[in-house]
């Protein structure tokens, strides 16, 4: 007689073990917060997928660099005190006094492809009224 309530067999999800205390302390001391957070999962994935040693290093380092770049950008924008950060794509040419031809010329320059900055400064416009 077989039971109607047979237990389902499922593959248990592997949980990444915590880092050893000395590694955690070293990463904390070096201020590698993103590496410290991602290391257990990276090590588990590397073991399961048999990553090459350089890939084990590359993955958390790339994550740390990306996190620091994002943090630095956010701090610089905040320090600059811009009222609103905008991209070139979000700039409304029709709402500005810049001729379309000038804008098109500026948007084709090499500094755009290099992702350099452009500051367009002019009178403040509030609800369609110019504050000149």
pLDDT of residue 1: 47
Is 96 buried (19+), middle (13-18) or exposed (0-12) by CB count in 10 A?
middle
pLDDT, one tens digit for every residue, the chain (132 residues):
444 455 455 555 778 889 999 999 999 999 999 999 999 999 999 999 999 999 999 999 999 999 999 999 999 988 988 777 778 788 888 888 888 888 887 887 777 677 877 776 776 655 555 444
pLDDT of residue 36: 96
pLDDT of residue 3: 47
Q: What is the DSSP letter of 128?
A: T
């Amino acid at each position: 007689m077989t039971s109607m309530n047979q237990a389902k067999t499922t593959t248990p999800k592997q949980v990444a073990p915590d880092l050893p205390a000395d590694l955690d302390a070293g990463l904390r001391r070096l201020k590698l917060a993103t590496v410290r957070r991602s290391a257990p999962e990276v090590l588990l994935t590397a073991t399961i997928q048999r990553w090459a040693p350089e890939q084990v290093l590359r993955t958390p380092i790339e994550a740390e660099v990306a996190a620091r770049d994002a943090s630095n950008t956010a701090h610089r924008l905040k320090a600059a005190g811009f009222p609103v950060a905008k991209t070139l794509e979000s700039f409304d040419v029709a709402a500005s006094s810049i001729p379309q031809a000038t804008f098109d010329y500026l948007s084709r320059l090499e500094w755009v492809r290099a992702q350099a900055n452009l500051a367009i400064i002019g009178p403040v416009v509030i609800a369609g009224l110019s504050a000149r």
